[in-house]
Chains A and B, each alone.
Chain A
């Protein structure tokens, strides 16, 4: 471990950061896992033996086959098939796309909104800050599952509605985090210098303060993305999330639930493993990022 730390002098800050990150084997494993999962999701149409949306390719005679059986088309269904005869492995690959897309998109929008609001709160202070932080506190005092469930109850089903619910659940975390670090940055001299040069509020906030607040934001972005993916799966499992036409991992697990009690475990089990690996991978990376980006927490 120490031999890696000894070299970084000559390197840039980013290279040093990469070195520090790679010191931890578990985190590297997590990063590898996520990379693999993202690649599988992106190239799903090329890898999957079957297009699970193409009704012509799906044969009802294949339904509920255990892992390793041969399909009517002749390929081996290594993970078995689901209730309507879709190859589970193909279903998981396509499901990953939807789960990741919903998680990342909602996270990105929530981060943008949260960052803006948090920056405004820290920068202007006073009454604006008070009102914003009251709302943030109010929202964070309620558990996200509950907020999401109620939003879904009000909005109804659908991809767009789930994304809205996930944004509402997440933005406050970003706002609180960025406000915390922006409060510290605001008092520093470079901000005063930027203001003295006559730069606008917007420019000072976005170009000068924001870049210095990003480290903790990156950490919670990983945690929140994992959380959003898990939450979407939970809602979809409960039948109030994504519709059957958008079979994310949660929908796949939900479809398998009815076969659970008759011992056909694989229909729920394997999509769950895929979900679990995704979340664990992201959390492992997030844990390491927290250690590396926050020198105060160094073990």
Chain B
């Protein structure tokens, strides 16, 4: 077990290092960062001065090791636009993004699970067909366009919910949140629903196929033969068993929610790190882009690592398969 964890950890480290190298060469070798920092009418001397000031006149390997040393200390440089520490700016915006992603995940489960269960229990019911058609639509709908339609319908036409921004924020148990007020929930409803859309379809499909498989299993037949109520069979015997794959997949999908939040946050002006990334890309604010990429890669690698280790704890075959490689 320990050997497995160490090997997985080494792999995760390798991924992080690989990303550092890719990001460094992507930002420093492809394109000259100096031109992004000086105004268009700068003289040659001014350009050279900026180049020296930021150390871009050094050989590439010197720059690379300096870059490595800096990020090892958590220093991603200062934002060209905002002036402050890049990593600080990203981390400041992180709670808003995580809040949005968590609420989206909750939406995905409370909407997707009952629909998927129903479609799995009664596969031939017309409503089940409608649910499955809806889930195909959910996979096809471009997220950003659905966001626009949500704003158009709920904010502009009906005027029920605010279209942009985040509710008032307080700190609760050290976590910054806007979910303590009704206003906060009104603000998060549309963006979270938008972000959840793809995952709702995913949960519906997983729940449906899981339910169909489970209903044919002996333990369900046995429970039925024992005369348990259908409610108990579904609620205890089936639900418990289909939750395992759903929880695993959603755990892995959490990272993709954070990534997709770039789109949702931009549409709904949600003050998270995704919106910040997009603004930084448009304003060529390189240190912020680099800091964002590293934070997200770290998040991904950590999630994958945890899921892998949990899996090997639950199912020893995973561990053994890794060994025979």
Please give the residue numbers on chain A whose beta carbons come within 8 Å of chain B beta carbons, in ascending order: 138, 141-143, 145-146, 149-150, 152-156, 226, 230, 233-234, 237-240, 253, 257, 260-261, 263, 265, 268-269, 272, 275-276, 279-280, 283-284, 287
Contact partner of A155 (CB less than 8 A), chosen from B30, B296, B304, is: B30
B144 proximal to A (CB < 8 A) = yes
Specify the main secondary structure of chain A where it touches its partner. helix
Q: Which A residue's beta carbon lies closest to that of B153? A: A265
- Other A-B pairs beyond A234-B143, A238-B263, A261-B163, 6, CB < 8 Å: A138-B18, A153-B281, A234-B263, A238-B144, A268-B145, A280-B137
Residue numbers in B under 8 Å from A263 (CB-CB): 156-157
Q: Indicate if B287 sits at the interface (CB-CB under 8 A).
A: no
**What number of residue pairs across chains A and B have CB atoms under 8 A from each other?**
102
Query: Is B259 close to A, CB under 8 A?
Result: yes
Q: How many residues of B contact A (CB 8 A)?
A: 42
Q: Which residues in window 229-279 of B have CB below 8 A to A?
A: 255-256, 259-260, 262-263, 266-267, 277-278
In the complex, residue of chain A having the shortest beta-carbon distance to the beta carbon of B280: A153
Binding site for A on B (CB under 8 A): 15, 18, 26-27, 30-31, 136-137, 139-145, 148-149, 151-152, 155-157, 163, 255-256, 259-260, 262-263, 266-267, 277-278, 280-282, 289, 293, 296-297, 300, 304
A contact residues around B260 at 8 Å (CB)? 143, 145
Interchain nearest-CB distance for B105 vs A (Å): 15
Q: Are A287 and B136 in contact (CB under 8 A)?
A: yes
**B278: which A residues are within 8 A, CB to CB?**
149, 238-240
Contact A272 B145 (CB under 8 A): yes
CA of A269 to CA of B267, assembled, Å: 15
| Chain B residues near A152 (CB-CB < 8 A) | 281
Cα distance, A30 to B170, chains bound together (Å):
49
**In whole Å, how far is B176's beta carbon from the nearest beta carbon of chain A?**
24
Give bound CA distance, A153 to B286, whole Å. 9
Considering the complex of A and B, which 5 residue pairs feature the smallest CB-CB distances, nearest first?
Answer: A146-B259, A143-B259, A272-B145, A153-B281, A143-B256
